[in-house]
Amino acid sequence: MDLGLKSKTAVVTGASIGIGRAITKGLAAEGVRIVAVARRGDLLAQLVQEVGGGAIIPFEQDVMAKDAAENIAAFALKEFDHADILVNNAGGSRPLPVDAPDSKWDEAIALNFTSYRRIAHALLPQMVERKWGRIINITGKSEPEGLNAAFAAKAAVHAWAKGLSREIGEHGITINCIPPGRIMSEQIRRNYPPDYRERFAEEEIPVGYWGEPEDLAALAVFLASPVARYITGTVIPVDGGLRRYQF
């Protein structure tokens, strides 16, 4: 299928590793030009070299830094004149004890919700002006096994995105969320030994294995395309059937 993405432009945050890296490579393979945003410049440089062809322009930026959203938007618009697609992917798990201080909650919300909102709203005006845009948020699971501030923040992303979809649909802009299930990453390999992963897959994941970043990237690339024009305001898990509820 021709997804109609050739010559589109995109901004991908958290692009240097894992899911963000796979999405960046997937978009590049479809002919998209990308500003790849991450904190680790060395990994961005490796990504640029690996993909080649001038498809990726690296931008070393911490999304938590002051004026990060404005810096990212300004850089992308300077490089491309416009940004058709935004993939909000920067974030991280934040398990917290019940007595965690407000500062820990504030940091988790800033990283996992506020940075998404700010970058999206920084890029929205030019999407509205051009009557086309795609916003894709990589979020988190809906059944946390304990107190984790990141899950609360990602739930806020779901609510914000659904509300925003009602406001921007008339301008040809869609916004959707993808909560990953058990997707292999550096963090997963570091925190969960192979025997645990194998046992968990057998007992909890209907398809019987942990996903790879490319499994999620396939959906993200589709949602970024003109073909997905009638899909907006959704939360679509990529989890091999791990989620137990139908809604």
* Tens digit of each residue's pLDDT (9 = 90 or more) over 19-55: 999 999 999 999 999 999 999 999 999 999 999 989 9
Give the pair of three-digit tokens for residue 214. Answer: 């490319």
pLDDT at 244 exceeding the cut of 90: no
pLDDT attached to residue 247: 64
**In the beta sheet, which residues pair with residue 37?**
13, 59
* Tens digit of each residue's pLDDT (9 = 90 or more) over 131-177: 999 999 999 876 777 899 999 999 999 999 999 999 999 999 999 99
d(CA 217, CA 223): 10
Closest CA to 242 of 213, 217, 221, 211: 211
Q: How many CB atoms lie within 10 A of CB 1?
A: 6
First to last CA, the chain: 29
Does residue 96 contact residue 109 with C-beta atoms inside 8 Å?
A: no
pLDDT at 92 exceeding the cut of 90: no
Closest CA to 149 of 206, 200, 188, 111: 111
Domain residue extents for the chain: 9-228
pLDDT attached to residue 10: 98
**In the beta sheet, which residues pair with residue 133?**
173
Domain 9-228, classified CATH 3.40.50.720, yes or no: yes
| Contacting residues for 152 by C-beta, under 8 A, at least 6 apart | 108, 109
169 secondary structure, DSSP code:
G
pLDDT attached to residue 187: 79
Residues in the chain: 247
Instruction: Give the mean pLDDT of the chain.
Output: 95
Lowest mean pLDDT among 8-17, 103-112, 126-135, 140-149: 140-149
pLDDT at 194 exceeding the cut of 80: yes
